[in-house]
């Protein structure tokens, strides 16, 4: 049986990702599946090159060249600069309009992607609550998801960010968070496809994997640096996956704009 997808009219912020109660002020249930919905293959080549249209590659994403071989080398995470964060800003991103909250859209049955597996990291607290801000970014034209006779406007991606006092080893922490978060999502009904891919810059580690959620082809990226970690969940365009490389670049751009010293 296909899990229904729910369109939440109200913003939901600050909820816990395990054993939480979701308040739904008004919802539209898309109860029937569209033939071929989510049929786009997981390969990056299945996405049109012009979608999504947002964000230029960050400078930190460029691969270094080995002078002796001429081959590209993966960039390495630099030493901890000591930077920590106290708030998550709504970033300005080229081609996207971002705002706080879930953008009026979330999956039902705990299918929304969250950050878990970070129990060994101490979160920075704000106003008596852990800082785990949610931001959604929309492109133009709006992304429309269809199922049966129903349709709904969805963000290009939703993002959840956790701030910590210290992340001594971002790569190791990201691997734990990625595995725990993906395992939890799989338990709730997300079907993982393809293989995960890790992209490292001097300031950030990003790990992405494609998945199918309620028949929709999603691309999910989790990331970590020395003071924060988070997740971006990319909704499909034209029933096709957002390519992993594009999602990783957008993740890097989002983090650069959302984290303020």
| C-alpha to C-alpha distances, 3 to 71, 180, 192, 215, 237, nearest whole angstrom | 46, 22, 16, 9, 20
User: In the chain, what is the straight-line distance between the N-terminal and C-terminal CA atoms, in Å?
Assistant: 47
pLDDT category of residue 94 using cuts at 50, 70 and 90: very high
pLDDT category of residue 106 using cuts at 50, 70 and 90: confident
pLDDT category of residue 74 using cuts at 50, 70 and 90: low
* Sequential DSSP letters for the chain: -PPPEEEESS---S--SSSPPPP-SSEEEE-SPPTTTT-S-SSGGGS-TT-S---PPPGGGPPEE-TTT--EE---PPPP-----S-B----BTTBEEEES-TT---STT-S----S-TTSPBPEETTEE-EEEEEEE-SSPEEEEETTEEEEE-SEEEEEEEBS--S-HHHHHHHHHHHHHHHHHHHT-EEEEEEEEEE-SS-EEEEEEEEETTEEEEEEEEE-SSEEEEEEEPPBTTBPPPHHHHHHHHHHHHHHHB--
Q: Supply the pLDDT for residue 42.
A: 42
pLDDT category of residue 132 using cuts at 50, 70 and 90: low
The answer to whether 30 and 226 have CB atoms below 8 angstroms apart is: no
> Which of the two residues, 65 and 112, has the higher pLDDT score?
112
Q: Supply the pLDDT for residue 126.
A: 64
Lookup: tokens for 53:
């249209």
pLDDT at 32 over 50: no
Q: Give the mean pLDDT of the chain.
A: 77
- Over residues 57-81, the mean pLDDT reads 59
Q: Which residues pair with 220 in a beta bridge?
A: 209, 233
Q: Supply the pLDDT for residue 222.
A: 98
Name residues whose C-beta falls within 8 Å of residue 67's C-beta, 6 or more positions apart in sequence.
Answer: none
pLDDT at 207 over 90: yes
Q: Supply the pLDDT for residue 49.
A: 36
Give the lowest-confidence range in 21-25, 94-98, 164-168, 170-174. Answer: 21-25
Tokens 């539209």 sit at which residue? 28
Task: Please state, in angstroms and rounded to a whole number, the distance separating the CA atoms of residues 88 and 90.
Answer: 7
pLDDT at 9 over 60: no
Task: Please state, in angstroms and rounded to a whole number, the distance separating the CA atoms of residues 96 and 105.
Answer: 17
pLDDT category of residue 158 using cuts at 50, 70 and 90: very high
Q: Which of 204, 123, 223, 201 is CA-nearest to residue 166?
A: 123
pLDDT at 211 over 70: yes
| C-alpha to C-alpha distances, 232 to 29, 195, 252, nearest whole angstrom | 24, 17, 10
Cis previous bond, 141, omega within 30? yes
| C-alpha to C-alpha distances, 148 to 34, 35, 36, 120, 202, nearest whole angstrom | 5, 8, 11, 43, 45
Whether this prediction's pTM lies above 0.75 is answered by no
Angle at CA 144, nearest 5°, toward 152 and 96?
A: 115
pLDDT category of residue 142 using cuts at 50, 70 and 90: confident
242-256 pLDDT, tens digit each: 999 999 999 999 999
Lookup: tokens for 238:
């034209």
- Over residues 98-104, the mean pLDDT reads 89
pLDDT category of residue 148 using cuts at 50, 70 and 90: confident
Q: Supply the pLDDT for residue 238.
A: 84
- Over residues 46-68, the mean pLDDT reads 43
């Amino acid at each position: 049986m296909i899990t229904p997808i729910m369109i939440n009219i109200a913003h939901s912020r600050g909820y816990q990702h395990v054993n939480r109660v979701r308040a739904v002020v008004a919802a539209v249930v898309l109860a029937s599946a569209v033939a071929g919905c989510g049929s786009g293959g997981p390969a990056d080549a299945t996405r049109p090159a012009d979608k999504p249209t947002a964000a230029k590659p960050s400078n930190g994403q460029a691969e270094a060249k080995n002078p002796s071989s001429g081959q590209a080398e993966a960039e390495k995470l630099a030493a901890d600069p000591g930077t920590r964060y106290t708030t998550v800003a709504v970033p300005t991103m080229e081609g996207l309009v971002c705002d706080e909250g879930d953008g009026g859209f979330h999956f039902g049955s705990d299918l929304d992607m969250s950050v878990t597996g970070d129990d060994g990291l101490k979160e920075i607290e704000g106003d008596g609550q852990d800082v785990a801000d949610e931001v959604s970014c929309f492109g133009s034209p709006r992304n429309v998801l269809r199922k049966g006779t129903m349709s709904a406007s969805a963000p290009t991606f939703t993002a959840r960010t956790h701030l910590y006092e210290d992340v001594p080893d971002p790569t190791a922490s990201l691997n734990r968070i990625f595995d725990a978060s993906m395992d939890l999502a799989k338990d709730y009904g997300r079907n993982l496809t393809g293989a995960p891919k890790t992209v490292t810059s001097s300031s950030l580690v990003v790990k992405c994997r494609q998945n199918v959620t309620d028949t929709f082809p999603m691309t999910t990226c989790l990331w970590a640096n020395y003071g924060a970690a988070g997740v971006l969940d990319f909704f499909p365009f034209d029933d096709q996956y957002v390519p992993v490389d594009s999602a990783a670049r957008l993740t890097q751009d989002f983090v650069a704009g959302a984290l303020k010293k």
